[in-house]
């Protein structure tokens, strides 16, 4: 995610056709959402309905609201002319500041409903997905429509203990490479949003394309990750993912100031990876500092 943001914001060059940027954005947020769904299986089967809701509020909603407030204060303070207008601006922008967390909250609550009321019925998952994808895109809801099948898929893969094999990996790899090769700027969720009507055949095609590319990319990346050796670095990153996500977002509006020279090789594989590592190191360091205070950690990182 951070590497993709660095590629996107560190130059004045149009990067929508950057091949590395296309590959990252074809699957990276779907991957994070699928992993979130996979891990949520542990919580949903160990806790009561009340505990599940309260934990989501504490771990995600409270930090989300506070970091969104910080973001508005830092970058949008001068856009409001009155306290009432400022509050309206805050509420309106909530789904956009940290949209992944907002989507994760909604996906989690949908998963809780189906688990507790419909006993994890596959039909219920499918019907809820159909209902959600046809809702309007207002207030950033297109993000939720894009993310929810990946969360459901991750959860169900864990529930049914599904496993991949070499055939699945090779097939996914071939599909992902082919879809990456034919990727167009209209397949980004940020450029065309999501279709809201069945009659919108072009929009439905774009949605299906990005869904398939996302799933193929997830399966390919997961197979590659399994081959990596265990590392203390991955453990540290895993413990501080929420802090990395929130804190790194404050760098993005300033990355334009770098205006790095756009040489595809140097830019993609030298400049932006170095900057990515630097930002991650700063974010991890700040997350560790936040963790030292129990109260601050509870409010900013959900007590993680």
Helices 49-56, 99-118: crossing angle, 10 deg rounding: 180
Question: In terms of residues, how long is the chain?
Answer: 304
Q: CA–CA separation, 244 vs 304, rounded Å? A: 13
**How high is the mean pLDDT in each 10-residue block of the chain (304 residues)?**
96 94 97 96 90 95 96 74 81 92 96 95 96 92 97 96 90 97 96 92 96 97 83 86 96 94 96 97 96 95 87
Whole-number pLDDT of residue 80: 57
Whole-number pLDDT of residue 1: 94
Instruction: Specify whether the CB–CB gap between 116 and 49 falls below 8 A.
Output: yes
Instruction: Specify whether the CB–CB gap between 211 and 233 falls below 8 A.
Output: no
**Which helix (H) or strand (E) element contains residue 65?**
helix 62-75
Whole-number pLDDT of residue 226: 78
Whole-number pLDDT of residue 297: 96
Burial status of residue 163 (CB atoms within 10 A of its CB: 0-12, 13-18, 19 or more): exposed
Q: Which two tokens stand for residue 149?
A: 């099948």
- Whether the CA torsion 122, 124, 129, 130 is positive or negative: it is positive
Whole-number pLDDT of residue 227: 79
Residue 47: name the closest of 104, 111, 105 by CA: 111
Whole-number pLDDT of residue 78: 60
Instruction: Specify whether the CB–CB gap between 271 and 257 falls below 8 A.
Output: no
Residue 218: name the closest of 162, 269, 270, 145 by CA: 162
């Amino acid at each position: 995610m951070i590497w993709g943001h660095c590629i996107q914001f560190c130059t004045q060059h149009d990067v929508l056709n950057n091949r590395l940027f296309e590959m990252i954005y074809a699957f990276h947020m779907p991957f994070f959402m699928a992993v979130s769904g996979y891990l949520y299986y542990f919580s949903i089967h160990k806790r009561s309905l009340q505990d599940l809701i309260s934990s989501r509020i504490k771990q995600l909603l409270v930090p989300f609201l506070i970091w969104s407030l910080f973001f508005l204060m830092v970058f949008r303070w001068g856009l409001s002319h009155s306290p009432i207008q400022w509050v309206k601006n805050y509420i309106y922008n909530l789904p956009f500041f940290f949209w992944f967390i907002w989507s994760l909250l909604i996906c989690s609550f949908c998963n809780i409903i189906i688990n507790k009321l419909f006993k994890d019925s596959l039909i219920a998952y499918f019907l809820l997905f159909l209902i959600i994808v046809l809702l309007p895109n207002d207030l950033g809801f297109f993000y939720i429509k894009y993310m929810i099948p990946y969360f459901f898929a991750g959860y169900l893969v864990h529930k049914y203990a599904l496993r991949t094999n070499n055939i699945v990996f090779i097939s996914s790899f071939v599909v992902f490479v082919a879809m990456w090769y034919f990727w167009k700027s209209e397949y980004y969720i940020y450029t065309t949003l999501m279709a809201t009507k069945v009659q919108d055949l072009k929009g439905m095609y774009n949605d299906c394309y990005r869904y398939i590319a996302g799933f193929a990319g997830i399966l390919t990346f997961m197979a590659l990750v399994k081959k990596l050796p265990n590392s203390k670095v991955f453990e540290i990153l895993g413990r501080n993912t929420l802090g990395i996500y929130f804190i790194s977002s404050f760098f993005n509006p300033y990355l334009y100031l770098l205006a790095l020279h756009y040489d595809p090789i140097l830019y993609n594989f030298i400049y932006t990876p170095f900057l990515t590592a630097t930002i991650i190191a700063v974010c991890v360091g700040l997350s560790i500092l936040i963790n030292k205070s129990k109260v601050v950690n509870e409010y900013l990182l959900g007590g993680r």
